[in-house]
Structure 1
Amino acid sequence: MKCVRIEAYGGPEVMVLADIPVPAPGPGEVLVQVSHAGMNFMDIHTRQGKYRQSRTYPVRLPCTLGIEGAGRVVATGQEVAGFAPGDRVAWCIAWGSFAEYACVPARLLARVPDRLGLDMAAASMFHGCTAHYLAYDVARLAPGMSCLVHGASGGIGQILVQMARRLGVRVFATTSSAARAGRIRALGADQVLDYDGGRFADAVRDATGGHGVDVVFDAVGRETLRDSFRATRKRGLVVNFGSVSGPLDDLDPIELGEAGSLFLTRPRLADHMESQPVVQSRADAVFASLLDGSLDIVIAARHSFDTLAEGLERLEHRRSTGKPLLVVQPEAG
């Protein structure tokens, strides 16, 4: 089968289009014929070696790239119940979707409703489940609350804005592109701000009568995190779920006290996808919102194996629109 693999960490040049045998599912695994695979920053981070010592995401060399996909079940391994050949399924945070077939732990699979295309299932699993656990489990958003979403034009940011508005939350959002501000407003953000060297915090304070927001969702990291503290109310919550601009490696916990006895958390999706019923419930919530029209996800581009490297290069250099990118298998059309 065709697949995109790495045998060393590095730049785009380490990705190799290989032909390897179709894997056999082990105990607790399901073999899926991949229809579509999502392209994400985690694929780039994997290639760069950022997970080489991770216990949460224990991916090691050599590996097939791709952490998100959808397709049909071909075979099941021992100790697998509830899935059978022909089932339409989707998954995320299981490596190997940049391939014609992938072995996926059954506990990470979600069934896809017949009315939802497998392309949209693949495009929504990682971003959708991430936004869902951040909004519902970590922040516990509720009517009357307020939040700030950084990187709101990104895939997760756009979904967070929509989920927060649906929950009756006042939403502030930042984006680095004025051209994308209209899209964020259309999704429901009450106010869209430029980062402006950290002055977004002053704008949020002014708009909230000096109090700040209840929750900040910050995936930017070093360039915004300290100003995110300034934008947060006393005893508020700052959720740092990414470090696009790099890690903040000189943070003294006393800063949280000085900023108003803040709570700071650095969660990961894997710890909120601990069982197949949890995975299914998150996926069901995302899929249902897509089907009833309350969640809008637009696929930016579709790539074959031949153009996959180009798609990842655009994503890595921030030239994507924030919309999901897909790898489409030739037979899937």
Structure 2
Amino acid sequence: MARTTSAFRIEAFGETSVLKMTEVELPEPAAGEIQIEHAAIGVNYIDIYHRKGVFAAPLPLPSGLGMEGVGTVTALGAGVSGFAIGDRVAYVGGPPNGYSQARNLPAARALAVPDDLTSETVAALIFKGLTVEYLIHRCRKVEPGDTVLWHAAAGGVGSIACQWLSSKGVTVIGTVGSPEKAKIAEANGCSHVINYRAEDFEARVKEITHGAGVDVVFDGVGADTFAKSLNCLRPRGAMVSFGEASGPVDPVPVSSLGAKGSLTLTRPSIAHYTADRGEYESAAESLFGAIRAGIVLAPEITTYALADAAQAHADIEERRTTGSVVLVP
């Protein structure tokens, strides 16, 4: 039987004012779907891209919002196996509808949640943790002894990355925007921290590496950091541009990558690294194992009521948050 649930819908792209919470009909799950009641919902920068319509493929409007969550299975569609009513599951991806009290979800996107992990911890870590997992293990495999530059090292993704990389014997140079965030990055394993508001990060990276440059740059910031980041790479280094928090990156002449040292440039998406069910489950097992081993700890978690999603977006955009942001229905 269909029911109603509270959920956010956007009918136009724009600023936080386009976020509207409303009552919507929630039908019985279709074949291959499960229905879940949310316990915690992760907020990510991709949600802001979707809200603004600046992502590579803008959402068809009207649309929901939100790409990850944790909840309890309340109904099963036809043909679903491997899950039962009452199971606790997490998900990344699927139709954007995470900002809701309850939703239907393709069962192929659901992951069993270990009993010893809280819903808020998983919501804080699952999307960002799987992002780090694919970036450092499969997009550009980082090896012990490598040196990497990670922008926004005190953010949700950056905090996890610094912990995971430092545990592997990687030298991490992190950039941050304040002395307070520098302390967070240091606590999470950064060997060197650069406050980009007070120092030229390109000059500092060259100083730290004695002019050699870094093996990899992981850049989720975009316009403000991209050009100088290329200059921080050693010959045959790799630039991984995985976000545009400060705005889109200007086009790059292919020939410039050769001139700067036969560099590699990629713009990956988590969708392409979790599309295969086997890879998706394996990545989650790797992440949950790192959490259990104490390698990856949940960063500072800032919680907002689901109804306050617009404020959460505003705080993230103004860089008033550190760690992870979670909505609680």
Q: With the length of structure 1 as denominator, give the TM-score of the two structures.
A: 0.92
The 8 Å contact of residues 31 and 74 in structure 1, kept in 2 or not, is answered as yes
- Give CA deviations for 1:12-44 in whole Å, capped at 9, x if unaligned: 222111111223222322211111111122222
Q: Report the more deviating stretch, 128-137 or 242-251.
A: 242-251
Out of 33, 36, 39, the position equivalent to 1:35 is 39
What is the aligned partner in structure 2 of residue 222 from structure 1? 223
CA distance in 1, matches of 2:237, 2:53: 34
Matched position secondary structure for 2:25: coil
What is the aligned partner in structure 2 of residue 78 from structure 1? 78
The 8 Å contact of residues 108 and 275 in structure 1, kept in 2 or not, is answered as no
Amino acid at match of 1:185: E
What is the aligned partner in structure 2 of residue 328 from structure 1? 328
Regions of 4+ moved over 6 Å: none
What is the aligned partner in structure 1 of residue 160 from structure 2? 159
What is the aligned partner in structure 2 of residue 269 from structure 1? 270
What is the aligned partner in structure 2 of residue 305 from structure 1? 306
How many residues align? The count is: 324
Amino acid at match of 1:64: G
**1:215, distance to aligned residue in structure 2 (A):** 0.6
CA distance in 2, matches of 1:198, 1:104: 46
What is the aligned partner in structure 1 of residue 26 from structure 2? 22
The 8 Å contact of residues 159 and 299 in structure 2, kept in 1 or not, is answered as no
The 8 Å contact of residues 160 and 299 in structure 2, kept in 1 or not, is answered as no
2:60 is aligned with 1:63: no
Matched position secondary structure for 1:130: helix
Change in 2 beyond 3 A, CA 1:305/1:145: closer
Gaps of 5+ in 1: none
- Give CA deviations for 1:62-120 in whole Å, capped at 9, x if unaligned: 22222110001122223432122111110122311111211122222111000011111
**1:134, distance to aligned residue in structure 2 (A):** 0.3
What is the aligned partner in structure 1 of residue 99 from structure 2? 98
Amino acid at match of 2:13: Y
The 8 Å contact of residues 109 and 279 in structure 1, kept in 2 or not, is answered as no
Q: Report the more deviating stretch, 291-300 or 174-183.
A: 291-300
Q: Report the more deviating stretch, 7-16 or 210-219.
A: 7-16
**Fraction of identical pairs, as percent:** 35
Amino acid at match of 2:80: V
**1:197, distance to aligned residue in structure 2 (A):** 8.4
Amino acid at match of 2:68: E
CA distance in 1, matches of 2:174, 2:203: 13
- Give CA deviations for 1:255-306 in whole Å, capped at 9, x if unaligned: 1111101000000000000123322222222222223322122343222233
What is the aligned partner in structure 2 of residue 112 from structure 1? 113
2:250 is aligned with 1:246: no
Amino acid at match of 1:283: A
- Give CA deviations for 1:122-156 in whole Å, capped at 9, x if unaligned: 11111100011001001201111111101101111
2:134 is aligned with 1:133: yes
Matched position secondary structure for 1:158: helix
Matched position secondary structure for 1:20: strand
- Give CA deviations for 1:192-225 in whole Å, capped at 9, x if unaligned: 0122588322222222232111111011112211
The 8 Å contact of residues 23 and 102 in structure 1, kept in 2 or not, is answered as no
The 8 Å contact of residues 75 and 85 in structure 1, kept in 2 or not, is answered as yes
**1:186, distance to aligned residue in structure 2 (A):** 1.4
- Give CA deviations for 1:168-187 in whole Å, capped at 9, x if unaligned: 11111111112211111111
**Structure 1 residues 198-217: aligned runs within 5 Å:** 199-217=200-218
Q: Report the more deviating stretch, 60-69 or 130-139.
A: 60-69
Amino acid at match of 2:41: A
Amino acid at match of 1:151: A
CA distance in 2, matches of 1:276, 1:295: 23
- Give CA deviations for 1:293-331 in whole Å, capped at 9, x if unaligned: 22122343222233222222211222112x2111112xx
The 8 Å contact of residues 9 and 20 in structure 2, kept in 1 or not, is answered as yes
- RMSD over aligned CA atoms reads 1.7
The 8 Å contact of residues 23 and 101 in structure 1, kept in 2 or not, is answered as no
The 8 Å contact of residues 309 and 327 in structure 2, kept in 1 or not, is answered as yes
Change in 2 beyond 3 A, CA 1:111/1:59: farther
